[in-house]
Amino acid sequence: MAHVAYTADNLDIRYAHLALAKSKNPEIHKFAKTMIRDHEAVNEQALALLEKLGVQAQDNFLSQKLNQDGDAIIERFSTLSGAEFDRAYAENELAYHKAVNALVGDVFIPNIENAEVKALFEEGLKIFKAHEAHAEMMVEALN
Amino acid sequence: MASKVIRRDLLVGAAACAGALATSVNNGLAKTPRTHDIRIKSFEFEPQTITVKVGDTIRWTNEDLAPHTATAVAADWDTGEIVKDDARSIKVTEGMETNYFCAFHPHMKGTIELI
């Protein structure tokens, strides 16, 4: 579970770096920078907590699937440019945050026993829900 | 003789002190600037609206994991990035922009009422 969350965070950071490199839209840049800033903050806390608890996040089929899907998305993004890229990035951010939020909220959180881990996931979910709302505004603005 | 002089000086000094104290208390009631605290929690400014006077200080403390800012809509003032458990302050000035938001999460909005 921790590895899936960590992978999802890192994937979004990779999308954001691509957006910074490819997009010329200042709103996309602002959003991408927020994604990097926030997801790095979550990852930092997650790693600190794992270390405190003395456990290691294990690679698993779900995080591998996420990475495979992510690679395909990044490959598709790299063929796009201009407004076409901006729309694809914004739409992917909205869909991605929706999917990850549903997974974290409906599947992960109800199954976490450790109170500290649960609190971190809940805190993370708040952040990702804010991102989802932000992505929604961005998609509307671009269409 | 000497002791009388000292006593008189002391009395004068004490009276002066009391006068100064009274003046500073009176002024203090009317003018002492206040610090207004705003918590940033769960992607909201709490309280969302505050009432302040020119010369007061507004202090934002971030209780979220995500970094935030308090940034004037007209961009005339900005706290800069406030990381988790950190605080940043700005001083209230005449004619300052009273609507602000988080530059990183633009749906977070706050209002300052100047009286």
Query: What pLDDT score was predicted for residue B22?
Result: 43
| Residue B30: strand, helix, or coil | helix
Q: Is A66 exposed, middle or buried (0-12, 13-18, 19+ CB in 10 A)?
A: buried
Query: What pLDDT score was predicted for residue B30?
Result: 54
- Which residues of chain B does A30 touch, with a Cβ-Cβ cutoff of 8 Å? 103-104
Which helix (H) or strand (E) is B112 found in, with range? strand B109-114
Q: Are A127 and A42 in contact (CB under 8 A)?
A: yes
| Residue A24: strand, helix, or coil | coil
Per-residue confidence of chain A (143 residues) as pLDDT tens digits?
A: 888 888 999 999 999 999 999 999 999 999 999 999 999 999 999 999 999 999 888 888 889 999 999 999 999 999 999 999 999 999 999 999 999 999 999 999 999 999 999 999 999 999 999 999 999 999 999 98
For chains A and B, CB pairs below 8 A equal 40
How far does A44 lie from chain B, in Å, by closest CA?
A: 10
pLDDT at B2 over 50: no
Q: How far apart are CA A53 and CA A33, in angstroms?
A: 30
pLDDT at B29 over 80: no
The answer for B 26-85 residues in CB contact with A (under 8 A) is: 42-43, 64-67, 83-84
pTM for the whole thing? Answer: 0.80
More confident residue, B13 or B38: B38
- What are the tens digits of pLDDT across the range B55-76? 999 999 999 999 999 999 999 9
* Closest chain B residue to A39, measured at CA: B66
Q: Are A130 and B66 in contact (CB under 8 A)?
A: yes
Q: What is the dihedral of CA B115, B71, B81, A52, to 10 degrees?
A: 80
The set of residues, in sequence order, having a beta carbon less than 8 Å from that of B79 and lying 6+ positions away, is B60, B69, B70, B71, B88, B89, B90
- Interchain pair B65, A123: CB under 8 A: yes
Q: Are A33 and A16 in contact (CB under 8 A)?
A: yes
More confident residue, A142 or B13: A142
Q: How far apart are CA B26 and CA B22, in angstroms?
A: 6
The set of residues, in sequence order, having a beta carbon less than 8 Å from that of A132 and lying 6+ positions away, is A94, A97, A98, A101
B109-114 and B87-91 as β-strands: parallel, antiparallel, unpaired?
A: unpaired
More confident residue, A94 or B1: A94
Minimal CA–CA distance to A94: which of A56, A44, A60, A141? Answer: A141
Query: What pLDDT score was predicted for residue B16?
Result: 44
